[in-house]
Every structure is written in structure tokens, then in C-alpha cells.
């Protein structure tokens, strides 16, 4: 493939994650974007449980039952000749580790804010990750068909709470029961829906009067408020700064209602024009450009049993440079061994298809018999390099687990090991061969119990522990001595590395005072 063709393919790619606080409408917006792109025929709103219509991105049975996303999913489709990769992430803070890793694989982010609630705690955490990486952020203020905070108040909140400039691309015509549509400030266009729920648009010329055109659409008070706010924004608002958007310092803001599709088409059209295509990435050998002739990528997620019938395991690879071809041989940086990529797949939530080629920005699923770990980098050349470590959170909740039926021990060990390799949980073993489960959030316990039963046929006994902190011991010989002399719980993680689990901060500080020469670290990644 020549350089020009490769660059054309790169320019077509838009890869983004959608982040929000739980219940802000993240999965619903994802569905409407898929619907716009013709990827699905009916949006399975997360509220439509009785009719058994489920969100396309919620592929796990537990997600369908609870109406929440508990794992990141990947959806790919084409719209207006753009190849779009959407990564729908869990909103719940208990699954933030999965979300944080997913954010490493995208070129931009869509941040959804509930108009009534404004900027919420989980949004602040996820925003900080994006800001630290300089990821361009596009804001969609959702649920305008309900009463909420005034738009100008929300802009102030974005700047004060998140510390980012905002520029409204469109502006709501009313709110709640008086919500009639949006006015596009960039294209000077009105978008509304008539009584038949048909989308109507009208571009304004210099001679057109906004008040006259809206007379048949909105009431007098709504129109007057719109004109006052638009005048204020023009005179005192931030000027649009595309360079600041690209650096993640200014966020373009869109208003709408994902449930009713108000403002969603406008948002998508502007997003595709403004959002970056795949960019160069930092690596152990410096910046790697996407149009490099050498193929490279990294694994940001591993998922077991997406197809329960085949008990498969898929490694999600973000392509960073070069052209990916089915059957190609690559080198794994961690092991320096070669791997043939024989069954590459692209995804639409739980459905998938074998592909022949892919390009930077694309997410490819690799069949994984146990080769890959989260954070692995693969390269076409034997002279390998890596894209750095992915974040790993130390667990804060612990429990002893075992199979209720001793005859299921083989299935129990297989399930525990596979789920640990996904990175969603951490597994430890005591000297007495007891299994301890460590998680970041309490809800992960429920997901673990559910998946062990549904995917491995194992019922569990679970005994919660009072411990709160895990620290890795840098020198294995120190662990041997501590097992004999310390009252603290010294265990091994699933890669046989020694870990101390403490009950609280006090017991950790007491240990550090008694053993100043023993070095402890927060993450197993620090031991690589």
C-alpha cells in the first residue's frame, strides 16, 4: 500500500469514547449514533426492559438485566464515508479501571452531562484523565426535554468545576415542556421536529429574522430568552479556538435529547468535521506516526467468553501505525516472540466478523489462547518497542472465595484465572491455597459471582474481608522472611508476585515503621 492510500484511510478514521456519570444517557446516545449511521434499525433504549429491547452496546446478560453498562464495548460503523469506532464505557465508578484503560485507546472523547444535574463526581474523575492526556473533549448536554439548569449556568460550571473553556456550537430553543429544538450557531441553522416527529431544518440567511422564523415553532418567552442568550454569548462568550479544542483546552458544547434524537444529527455532523483523526503516539522509541510503514498497536482490553458457546478469549488491539493485514506475523514486545494474527475480528457489541485489513484508529479483536496481557505492544518489526503502561488501580475491597461444590474446582480455577487476566479483578493465593479476590468497587463482586455462575457453571461461597489495601513487595526474598515474622497477610498474585494485604492505613504505617528497609509499591506494573 502506498503512503497516499494509507493517509487517506487514516483521515477517514474517528475513534472516540463516550464518558459520563451513571444515568446521564451515555448508552442511549451511543444507540442513536448507531441508528443515524444505519448500523441498527431500532434503538434499544435502556428503559425498554418490558419489551426486551436492550441497548446494543450492553451485550452481557447482566447488563441487560440491570440496565447498566458494566464493561466497555466496541462498535464500528461507516457514516458519510467516515469509519467510526465508538467505545462505550461503564459509567459506574466501580468499573472505572476498565474505563480508564479504554481512554488510552481513543483520539477524542464525548462527555455527556445531564442538564438537570450538571457536572457530577464520576464525570470529574474521567475528565481529569482526559485532560492529563490532552485528549480533545466534546460535550453533549443531554435530556433537554426535561427541566434543568440554565445553559449559561452550565457553561460557568464547566469552567469552574472542570477548568475548561466552553463554546456552544448549538443552543437550545427552550427546555423541558417548552423545548422545541436547537439553533446551530456555526451554520446559522434551526433544527426542530414537527408534530409527525419528522426532523426539520432551515438555514438562515443574513436577511432572515430568527424571531419571525421561530414564531410558529416556539412561544414568545422562549424566543425572547433565546435571542438574549445568543446576544450575550456573541458579546461576552469565549471565541471559538480550534487549536485549543485540539489540545483539550476548549470543549465544543452541544445541546439535545438522546432519547428523542433532538440535536444528535447536528452533533454528529459537527463532531466528524472537528474531531481529530488518529494522531502520533509516544512510545519507548519516541513518537510513532500513524502513517509509518511499520505496523504497531497495543492491547488495552481482554474479554473472556464474549461467545459463551465457544469459551473464547479476545484481546482488543488499538492500531497505532501502518496497515494491519489478516495472517500477518508480528512481534510481542514483552516476550520478544512472534505471533501470527490469523483470525482478526471487528466488533459490533457482541457480534463480530472476520476482517482482512484495518488501519490506525481501528480496534481489532485478536483470538487469544493466552499470549496477551493488558498493555502489551505488538510490532511488525523484530526491533520492538512499546507504548507504555496502562493504568492499574490497587484494589480496595477483598473477599475469600471458593467453589461451593468441590467437584467444580477445575472450572473454578479456570474461571478465576481467566477473569483475572481481563484485568477487571485481582486474584491472590494464601500459603494455604485459599483464593482471595480484590476489586476496586463493590459492584465488581456481584459481576464476578454472576459471571462465574453464567460462564463457568460455578456457584461460589464468598466471605468478605475487612482489609482495604494491597501493596506489592519488590524483593521476593523479603516476602519469605515476612511470612515467618509478620502478622500481616502475605499472599501471591496470579503471576506469583508477593503482595501484602493490610486492614487499613494504620496497619500500613505501623508496618512501614517496623520495616523501613522493605520496599512496597502500589501496582504490579511497577515491578515490570
Compute CA distances 116 → 109, 148, 271, whole Å: 21, 4, 24
- 375 annotated to bind ligand: no
109's enclosing H/E stretch is strand 108-114
Task: Report whether 323 belongs to an annotated binding site.
Answer: no
Say if residue 89 carries a ligand binding annotation: yes
**Phi and psi based region of residue 25 (left: phi greater than 0; alpha: psi -120 to 50; beta: remaining):** left
Give the list of residues 6+ apart from residue 515 with CB closer than 8 angstroms, or none.
482, 486
User: Is 20 part of any known ligand binding site?
Assistant: yes
SS3 content of the chain, % helix, strand, coil (to 5): 30, 30, 40
Please tell me whether 470 is known to bind a ligand.
no
Sign of CA dihedral 397, 398, 402, 404: negative
Cell of residue 291, nine digits: 502513517
- Helix, strand or coil for residue 157? helix
Cα gap 417→440, rounded to integer Å? 18
Contact 479, 473 (CB under 8 A): yes
23 is known to lie in a ligand binding site: yes
Determine if residue 24 is labeled as part of a ligand binding site.
yes
Task: Count the alpha carbons within 13 Å of 269 in the hemisphere toward its beta carbon.
Answer: 11
Tell me the backbone φ, ψ of residue 71, rounded to 5 degrees.
Answer: -150, 150
| Residue 391 assigned ligand-binding role | no
Triad 117, 122, 124: Cα angle to 5° = 85
| Strands 489-493 vs 329-332: parallel, antiparallel or unpaired | unpaired
Q: How far is CA 528 from CA 332, 339, 374, 470, 525, in A?
A: 15, 21, 13, 17, 6
Residue 88 annotated as part of some ligand binding site: yes
Q: Is 474 annotated as contributing to ligand binding?
A: no
Q: Where are the alpha helices (DSSP H) in 345-442?
A: 409-421
Please indicate if the annotation marks 388 as binding a ligand.
Answer: no
Q: What SS3 class is residue 125?
A: helix
Q: What are phi and psi of 308, to 5 degrees?
A: -55, -25
Ligand-binding annotation for 25, yes or no, is yes
* 143 in a labelled binding site: yes
Listing DSSP states for 405-429 in one string gives: SGGGHHHHHHHHHHHHHTTSSEEEE
SS3 244: helix
21 labelled ligand-binding: yes
Please check if 170 is assigned to a binding site.
no
* Residue 80 CA from chain centroid, whole number: 24
Whole-angstrom CA distances from 249 to 280, 337, 366, 523 are 19, 41, 35, 31
Residues forming the annotated binding site?
20-27, 88-92, 142-145
Residues forming the annotated binding site for GTP?
20-27, 88-92, 142-145
Amino acid at each position: 500500500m502506498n503512503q497516499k492510500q494509507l493517509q487517506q484511510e487514516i483521515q477517514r478514521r474517528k475513534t472516540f469514547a463516550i464518558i459520563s456519570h451513571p444515568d446521564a444517557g451515555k448508552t442511549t446516545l451511543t444507540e442513536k449514533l448507531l441508528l443515524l449511521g444505519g448500523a441498527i434499525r431500532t434503538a434499544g433504549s435502556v428503559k425498554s426492559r418490558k419489551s426486551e429491547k436492550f441497548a446494543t452496546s450492553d451485550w452481557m446478560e447482566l447488563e441487560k438485566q440491570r440496565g447498566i453498562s458494566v464493561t466497555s464495548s466496541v462498535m464500528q460503523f461507516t457514516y458519510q464515508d467516515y469509519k467510526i469506532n465508538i467505545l462505550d464505557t461503564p459509567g459506574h465508578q466501580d468499573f472505572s479501571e476498565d474505563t480508564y484503560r479504554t481512554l488510552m485507546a481513543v483520539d477524542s472523547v464525548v462527555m455527556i452531562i445531564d442538564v438537570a444535574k450538571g457536572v457530577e463526581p464520576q464525570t470529574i474523575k474521567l475528565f481529569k484523565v482526559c485532560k492529563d492526556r490532552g485528549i480533545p473533549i466534546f460535550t453533549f448536554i443531554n435530556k433537554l426535554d426535561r427541566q434543568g439548569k440554565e445553559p449559561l449556568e452550565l457553561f460557568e460550571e464547566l469552567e469552574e468545576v472542570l477548568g475548561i473553556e466552553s463554546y456552544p456550537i448549538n443552543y437550545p430553543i427552550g427546555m423541558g415542556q417548552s423545548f422545541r429544538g436547537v439553533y446551530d450557531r456555526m451554520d446559522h441553522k434551526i433544527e426542530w421536529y414537527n408534530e409527525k416527529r419528522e426532523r426539520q431544518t432551515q438555514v438562515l440567511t443574513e436577511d432572515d429574522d430568527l424571531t419571525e422564523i421561530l414564531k410558529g415553532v416556539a412561544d414568545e418567552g422562549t424566543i425572547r430568552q433565546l435571542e438574549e442568550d445568543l446576544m450575550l454569548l456573541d458579546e461576552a462568550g469565549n471565541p471559538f479556538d480550534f487549536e485549543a479544542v485540539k489540545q483539550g483546552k476548549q470543549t465544543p458544547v452541544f445541546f439535545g435529547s438522546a432519547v428523542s434524537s433532538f440535536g444528535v444529527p447536528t452533533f454528529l455532523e459537527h463532531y466528524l468535521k472537528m474531531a481529530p483523526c488518529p494522531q502520533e503516539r509516544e512510545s519507548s522509541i519516541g513518537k510513532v506516526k500513524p502513517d509509518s510503514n511499520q505496523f504497531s498497536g497495543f492491547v488495552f482490553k481482554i474479554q473472556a467468553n464474549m461467545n459463551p458457546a465457544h469459551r473464547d478469549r479476545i484481546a482488543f488491539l488499538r492500531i497505532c501505525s501502518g496497515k494491519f493485514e489478516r495472517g500477518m506475523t508480528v512481534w510481542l514486545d514483552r516476550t520478544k516472540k512472534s505471533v501470527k494474527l490469523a483470525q482478526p475480528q471487528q466488533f459490533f457489541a457482541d457480534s463480530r466478523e472476520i476482517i482482512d485489513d484495518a488501519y490506525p484508529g481501528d480496534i481489532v479483536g485478536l483470538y487469544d489462547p493466552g499470549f496477551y496481557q493488558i498493555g502489551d505492544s505488538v510490532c511488525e518489526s523484530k526491533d520492538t518497542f512499546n507504548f507504555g503502561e496502562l493504568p492499574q488501580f490497587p484494589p480496595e475491597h477483598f473477599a475469600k472465595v471458593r467453589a461451593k461444590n468441590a467437584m467444580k474446582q477445575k472450572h473454578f480455577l479456570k474461571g478465576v484465572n481467566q477473569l483475572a487476566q481481563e484485568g477487571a479483578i485481582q486474584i491472590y493465593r494464601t500459603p494455604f491455597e485459599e483464593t482471595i479476590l480484590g476489586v476496586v468497587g463493590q459492584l465488581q463482586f456481584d459481576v464476578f459471582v454472576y459471571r462465574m455462575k453464567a460462564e463457568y457453571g460455578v456457584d461460589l461461597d464468598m466471605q468478605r474481608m475487612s482489609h482495604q489495601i494491597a501493596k506489592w513487595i519488590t524483593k521476593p526474598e523479603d516476602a519469605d522472611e515476612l511470612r515467618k515474622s509478620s502478622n500481616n497477610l502475605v499472599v501471591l498474585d496470579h503471576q506469583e508476585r508477593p503482595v501484602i494485604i493490610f486492614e487499613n492505613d494504620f496497619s500500613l504505617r505501623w508496618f512501614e515503621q517496623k520495616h523501613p528497609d522493605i520496599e512496597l509499591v502500589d501496582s504490579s506494573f511497577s515491578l515490570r
